[in-house]
Amino acid sequence: MGVQQINGLAADGITGNQVSAVDLGGGLKALVVSVGGSVTVTGKAILTACGSASSNTAIVAAVPAKRIKCVFVSLRTSYSAGAIVPVLTDGNGGTTIYQDLEQAISGSVSGSVASVSPPGWICATTAGNPLYLNPNGQTVYYTISYFADDAS
C-alpha cells in the first residue's frame, strides 16, 4: 500500500491540513485529511470515532443533555455474498437515523462516505442518547466525525 503525502488546501477549505492520497490496491484510492487534533465549530470540538462492529454496538457514548450530530459518516465492508444494510440508530434499538446499502465485489472493500460542513449535520441522536451501529450480521468498518450539541 503506497501513501502519497500532499500538503495544502483540504477539500473542506481549511488550509494547513495534511492530505494523504492512499492507494488501497486493486485500483481503489482514498483521500484522508488529517486536521491534526480537533476542529471547533462555534466552541464545540469535532471528534472522530473509528473501528469495526459485527453486532449492534454503541460507537459514540451518550453525552448528557446533548445530541450527537454527525458531520462525516464512512461505512465500509468486505462482505460480498449479498447486500447488507448497516444502520446508525438513535440509542440501542432506537430509530434509524442513517442507513446505507453495501455489497463488496469478491476480494475487495466497498463503502460510502457522506459529509457536510459544520454546523450542518447528516444525522443526530436525541439528547442524552448514544449512537449505535447495527451492521446487520456482518463486519462493518466505520469512521464517524461528530460534535455534541444542545438539544435543539
What average pLDDT values come out for the chain (152 residues) when binned by 10 residues?
Answer: 36 44 50 50 82 96 96 92 93 96 85 89 96 95 94 74
pLDDT of residue 4: 36
Predicted pLDDT at 16: 45
User: Could you tell me the CA-to-CA distances from 40 to 21, 45, 114, 138 in Å, in that order?
Assistant: 25, 4, 19, 34
Cα–Cα distance measured from residue 29 to residue 69, given in angstroms and rounded to the nearest whole number: 28
* Cβ-contact 146, 88 below 8 angstroms: no
Instruction: Give me the pLDDT at residue 152, please.
Output: 72
Residue 17, pLDDT score: 45
Write the CB contacts of 145 (distance below 8 Å, at least 6 apart in sequence).
46, 47, 48, 70, 71, 72, 115
- Identify the helix (H) or strand (E) that includes residue 93: none
Task: Rounding to the nearest 10 degrees, give the CA dihedral for residues 99, 73, 101, 104.
Answer: -150
Q: Tell me how crowded residue 64 is: count the other CB atoms within 10 A of its CB.
A: 7
- For residue 108 the three cell numbers come to 475487495
Half-sphere exposure at residue 50, Cβ-oriented, CA atoms within 13 angstroms: 8
Predicted structure pTM score:
0.73
